[in-house]
Amino acid sequence: MTEPSIFTRILDGEIPAEILGETERVFALRDIAPQAPVHLLVVPKSAEYRNVAELAAGDPSLLAEMVAFAKELAAEYTEDGDYRLVFNSGENAGQTIFHVHAHVLGGGLTEKSVGA
């Protein structure tokens, strides 16, 4: 059996995190290493899907729920409601946690967040 992901361990209360909200199927937390003034993560509670392509193929309504939740969070946590939604997919694209999650980046992007 594979190890539970960091996000599953956060959800189970094994690792502390700043959880900002949840629905039945999705939760949101603040990224521990922010790359923008506002850097949040939207994560399905289920670790079934490793990346956004698998999620889109397997459960498009869950992907739509993540996108809708990201918009709500951006409206609440950024100054202007504008944001970037990023799904790193694959190790070479910077993915480190293979439990699908969306990065919600906003509030004025730092140089680092745009890869400068």
Report the nearest approach of ligand AMP to the CB of residue 81 (Å): 22
We find the least distance from the C-beta atom of residue 116 to ligand AMP, in angstroms, to be 17
Evaluated on CA atoms 17, 21, 25, 30, the torsion sign reads negative
Q: Is 99 one of the annotated active-site residues of the chain?
A: no
Applying CB under 6 A, does 32 fall inside the site for ligand AMP? yes
Residue 87 C-beta: closest distance to ligand AMP, Å: 8
Among 4, 5, 8, 17, binds ligand AMP (CB under 6 A): 17
| 6 lies in the binding site for ligand AMP (CB under 6 A) | yes
Residue choice 92, 96, 115, 116 for contact with ligand AMP (CB under 6 A): 96
Known catalytic residues are 101
